[in-house]
């Protein structure tokens, strides 16, 4: 009787720690994305809800990747997309797909940054507000976020599979 | 004997008078040379447009910096044509020579001297237009010879040497202002409208995007 309790307790703790890690991971990532959106909408001590896109468009354009219409569209939408991703990560809703979308977005960001560095562009990152210069540290930071996003995605898929698989 | 004494005295008076006259005139001339520049704010001499324009754009710039040249050629020229010359924008040049560019201070001194003669706009244009030519050697005169007449170049250099202290102080004032405002790259652009100053992302801005922002500010 006693031994069966011990076994069940250890099984429970073994099954809760991946969930705990996943919760921590998605919360951390979620708040980072919320902050990234906030920094694009609130800077120089004020909210810029009506003109944030002008500044952000100039930032995106400095990467010399997108055409003019692409720069405009991305400047309007990206902060709200980041806000939505952050909120969804924190809520845990559709975590597999949200994790995958987050990983994809971070991979795109890193690709753009590495390209800018290779081209020798002296520009700002545009990740968290206007005044952060693009450098090795910003690429490293986004890479570590990508690792976290991938871990959350894989963890979410793994846990979902375990939940749906028939118990033996 | 008496006559020769009188003659010697007269000659002495003439010599003293000549020396005194020469001395006074030299002193007066030196006073003219070292007189301070006319009482106009140096930044105003390096500015284009009307001070009462609804928008002010300040550009912290380095004449030897390629990004500044690119920003000037592709964006500022159009801003000058479409916004400064139409009274919508007051454009202020601020010197921010970077240590990594060996001839940027020399170019800034030259442009500041030209500003004292009211020729900042044409010299700024010439410096950026011919940056590729003078940038490797620092031979500004040679590079600008096709654009600015030799007599004008000479005049600018005269002002540069006569007002060296004021010119250096003006450049340093701009630089200090930039450092206080966290300028860490060139060009760095500030836009002031409706009593609010906003920094634009560093490194230059595409004209179409700046135009959209300026039009938005003018509509406000």
Segments making up each domain of chain A, as ranges: 19-164
Question: Would an 8 Å CB–CB cutoff place B74 in contact with chain A?
Answer: no
pLDDT tens track for B32-71: 333 334 445 667 889 999 999 999 999 999 999 999 999 9
pLDDT at B25: 39
Residue B44, pLDDT score:
84
Q: Which of A58, A68, A71 sits opposite B201 (nearest CB)?
A: A58
At residue B53, what are phi and psi to the nearest 5 degrees?
-65, 150
pLDDT-wise least confident of A2-11, A99-108, B74-83:
A2-11
Specify whether the CB–CB gap between B43 and B58 falls below 8 A: no
- A99 in Cβ contact with A153 (< 8 Å): yes
Closest residue in chain A to residue B196, using alpha carbons only: A44
Considering the segment(s) B42-219 as one domain, its CATH architecture is: 3-Layer(aba) Sandwich (3.40)
Q: Per-residue confidence at A2, pLDDT binned at 50, 70, 90? A: very low
Residues of chain A found within 8 Å of residue B201, distances taken between Cβ atoms: 55, 58-59, 62, 123-124, 126, 130
| Residues of chain B contacting residue A121, judged by C-beta atoms under 8 Å apart | 203
Task: Note the ipTM here.
Answer: 0.80
Return the number of CB contacts < 8 Å for A and B.
Answer: 49
Q: Rounded distance, CA B172 to CA B170, Å?
A: 5
Contact yes or no for B187/B61 (Cβ under 8 A): yes
pLDDT value, residue B17: 47
Q: Which residue of B has its CA nearest to A55?
A: B200
Q: Is B219 on the interface with A (CB under 8 A)?
A: no
B93: nearest Cα among B189, B197, B195: B189
For the segment B151-185, what is each residue's pLDDT rounded down to a tens digit?
999 999 999 999 999 999 999 999 999 999 989 88
Beta-carbon contacts of residue B187 (< 8 Å; ≥ 6 apart): B59, B60, B61, B62, B65, B67, B68, B71, B202, B203, B204
Look at residue A130 and tell me whether its pLDDT is greater than 50: yes
Residue (of A41, A166, A63) closest to A110 by Cα position: A63
- For residue A129, what pLDDT is reported? 77
pLDDT in tens, B184-210: 889 999 999 999 999 998 888 999 999
Residue with tokens 């991946």: A18
Q: Report pLDDT for A12.
A: 55
Q: What is the pLDDT of residue B5?
A: 59
Q: How does strand A42-43 pair with strand B47-48? A: unpaired
- Structure confidence at residue A75 (pLDDT): 96
Q: What are phi and psi of B22, to 5 degrees?
A: -60, -45
A58 touching B, CB under 8 A?
Answer: yes
B98 near A CB under 8 A: no
The reply to whether A134 touches chain B by the CB within 8 Å rule is no
Q: Does B198 touch chain A (CB under 8 A)?
A: yes
The tens digit of pLDDT for each residue in A66-91 reads: 999 999 999 999 999 999 999 999 99
Residues A34-70: tens digit of each pLDDT:
999 999 999 988 999 999 999 999 999 999 999 999 9
Tens of pLDDT along B75-117? 999 999 999 999 999 999 999 999 999 999 999 999 999 999 9
- What is the band of A160 on the pLDDT scale with cuts at 50, 70, 90? confident
Closest chain B residue to A60 measured between Cα atoms?
A: B201
* Main-chain dihedrals φ then ψ at residue B138, nearest 5 degrees: 80, 10
């Amino acid at each position: 009787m006693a031994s069966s309790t011990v076994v069940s307790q250890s099984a429970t703790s073994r099954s809760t720690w991946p969930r705990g890690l996943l919760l921590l991971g998605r919360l951390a990532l979620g708040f980072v994305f919320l902050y990234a959106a906030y920094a694009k909408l609130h800077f120089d001590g004020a909210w810029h809800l009506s003109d944030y896109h002008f500044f952000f468009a100039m930032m995106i354009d400095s990467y010399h990747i997108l055409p003019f219409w692409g720069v405009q569209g991305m400047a309007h939408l990206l902060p709200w997309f980041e806000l939505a991703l952050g909120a969804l990560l924190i809520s845990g809703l559709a975590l597999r797909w949200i994790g995958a979308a987050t990983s994809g977005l971070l991979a795109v960001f890193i690709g753009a940054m590495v390209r800018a560095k290779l081209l020798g562009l002296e520009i700002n990152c545009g990740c968290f507000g206007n005044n952060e210069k693009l450098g090795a540290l910003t690429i490293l930071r986004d890479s570590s976020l990508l690792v976290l996003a991938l871990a959350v995605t894989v963890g979410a898929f793994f846990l979902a599979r375990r939940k749906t698989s028939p118990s033996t | 004997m008496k006559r020769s004494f009188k003659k010697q005295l007269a000659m002495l008076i003439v010599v003293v008078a000549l020396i005194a006259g020469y001395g006074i005139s030299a002193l007066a001339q030196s006073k003219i040379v070292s007189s301070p520049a006319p009482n106009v704010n140096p930044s105003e001499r390096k500015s284009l447009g009307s001070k009462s324009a609804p928008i002010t754009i300040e550009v912290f710039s380095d004449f030897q910096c390629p990004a500044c040249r690119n920003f000037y050629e592709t964006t500022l020229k159009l801003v000058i044509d479409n916004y400064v010359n139409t009274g919508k924008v007051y454009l202020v040049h601020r010197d921010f020579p970077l240590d990594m560019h060996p001839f940027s201070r020399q170019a800034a001194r030259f442009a500041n001297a030209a500003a004292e003669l009211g020729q900042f706009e044409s010299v700024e244009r010439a410096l950026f237009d011919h940056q590729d030519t003078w940038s490797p050697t620092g031979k500004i005169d040679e590079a600008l010879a096709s654009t600015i007449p030799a007599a004008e170049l000479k005049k600018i250099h005269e002002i540069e040497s006569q007002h060296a202290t004021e010119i250096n102080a003006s450049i340093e004032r701009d630089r200090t202002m930039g450092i206080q405002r966290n300028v860490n790259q060139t060009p760095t652009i500030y836009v002031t409208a409706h009593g609010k100053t906003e920094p634009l992302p560093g490194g230059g801005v595409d004209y179409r995007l700046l135009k959209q922002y300026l039009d938005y500010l003018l509509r406000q």
